[in-house]
Structure 1
Amino acid sequence: MPYLIALLCFLGLLCLLNLIFTYGVILRLREHSEALAEGGGRRGSRVDGRPRPMGEVASDFTAITVKGQAVSRDSLPASAVVAFISPGCLPCEEAVPDLLKYATTVPDGQSRILVIVSGPTSESAAYVEQFADVADVVVEGPSGPVQSAFAVDGVPAFGVLGAGGTITVATRKVAELPTAVSA
């Protein structure tokens, strides 16, 4: 009988300890949820990692492509597609074949599609090689000028620019890009 009482006391204390830890986890999750709801990301980004929402204007930027050409928000044609990918990112690796296929269907895609590869040049070489013939490619760090202009914190991310740099499509999936990009 004393063993049974000791076992019940031990289980009671174990349940009480579990309850205290669970309460602490709930408090921590609540703080985390509040921080996300307040826009706790960097550079005014959105919680879901998408580029700026449709209807907003991308900030002005200037970048140099891997071919040495200057590109800016104002130099991109209306309905230009801007894609953000990164080496070592599994969702990016899964999106690359679809993006390559999409790029080959866009008339004059070389000047209508801008691929931003976020990462060191040595790690980005494979993506640069894949997209060099179908799009303009810019390699920049995670806080580069193009990513900052679109407030992108998560990759992959895709956007379509309208007149004046207005974002007409903001998505994380190639399949959600428009099927026909007007010339």
Structure 2
Amino acid sequence: MGILIAAVVLVGILGLFNLLLTAGVVRRLREHAELISNKSSGDGHGVDADVLAPGETAEPFAAESVTGRQIALTDLVQGSVVAFFSPHCQPCKERAPEFAAYAAGRPAGAEPTVAVVVASAAEAAEMTELLSPVAEVVTGAAAERVAAAFRTESYPSFYVMGATGTVSAGGHNLSVLPVAAAA
């Protein structure tokens, strides 16, 4: 009988230990889910640690768009919009049409709108077709240079430029972009 009591107590202790470990794992999963949620929220207020923060400056670059236009950091004046996409990411595929609609709604003669598709020209063809009517599109090695200048490694990323190459807003959602003024 003593052995049976000892076995029941041991099983109870192991069950309690297992319960405590499970509660710890659940707590950590909730913390990670919150961190992931905050990172992907893209609210433009410093939450996105992997985009340039307001006031930071992109590195100088020179690139040629698919239409042959030369684009440099000095061309991105206050109010310019720069978007980074990759044809290999699902959020990019979802937000590219939204960005195209946003860019189409910008007033004629507005500051430059640049879409950087980080992929070879062949891989970027679908996005280039979508974005080229409303933005200067950069692909291939030139796109990689622009992404490196903005230290962009996660996509999509959106920036609004301030004066002298500084970023005034940045994030992973279109909510960081200014509302287009009514014509």
Whether these two folds match at TM > 0.5 is yes
Q: Is the 8 A contact 2:97 2:130 kept in 1?
A: no
Q: Give the whole-Å Cα distance in 2 for the aligned partners of 1:109 and 1:11.
A: 74
Change (3 A) 1:16 1:108: same
- Give the C-alpha shift of residue 49 in structure 1: 5.0
What is aligned with 2:41? Answer: none
- Give the C-alpha shift of residue 99 in structure 1: 0.6
Change (3 A) 1:167 1:9: same
- Give the C-alpha shift of residue 84 in structure 1: 0.7
Is 1:167 the counterpart of 2:161? The answer is no
Aligned partner letter, 2:70:
A
Q: How many residues align?
A: 164
- Give the C-alpha shift of residue 75 in structure 1: 2.4
Q: Give the whole-Å Cα distance in 2 for the aligned partners of 1:126 and 1:109.
A: 26
Aligned partner letter, 1:161:
M
Cα RMSD (Å): 3.5
What is aligned with 1:119? Answer: 119
Aligned partner letter, 1:105:
G
Q: How does 1:1-183 map to 2 (within 5 A)?
A: 5-6=6-7, 9=10, 12-13=13-14, 48=48, 50-108=50-108, 112-140=112-140, 144-180=144-180
Q: Give the whole-Å Cα distance in 2 for the aligned partners of 1:88 and 1:109.
A: 32
Q: Give the whole-Å Cα distance in 1 for the aligned partners of 2:131 and 2:21.
A: 53
Change (3 A) 1:49 1:125: farther
Q: Is the 8 A contact 2:48 2:172 kept in 1?
A: no
Q: Is the 8 A contact 1:53 1:170 kept in 2?
A: yes
Change (3 A) 1:105 1:50: farther
Q: Which runs of 5+ in 2 are unaligned?
A: 33-45
Q: Is the 8 A contact 1:60 1:72 kept in 2?
A: yes
Aligned partner letter, 1:160:
V
Q: Give the whole-Å Cα distance in 2 for the aligned partners of 1:153 and 1:131.
A: 20
- Give the C-alpha shift of residue 7 in structure 1: 5.9
Q: Give the whole-Å Cα distance in 2 for the aligned partners of 1:152 and 1:65.
A: 18
- Give the C-alpha shift of residue 127 in structure 1: 0.2
Find the residue that maps to 2:54 and give its secondary structure: coil
Change (3 A) 1:79 1:47: closer
Find the residue that maps to 2:67 and give its secondary structure: coil
Q: Which runs of 5+ in 1 are unaligned?
A: 33-45
Normalization by structure 2: what TM-score? 0.70
Aligned partner letter, 1:76:
L
| Per-residue Cα deviation, 1:21-78 (whole angstroms, up to 9, x for no partner) | 9989x99xxxx9xxxxxxxxxxxxx983542111122111112212233211012333
Identity %: 31
Q: Is the 8 A contact 1:116 1:140 kept in 2?
A: no
Q: Is the 8 A contact 1:109 1:134 kept in 2?
A: no
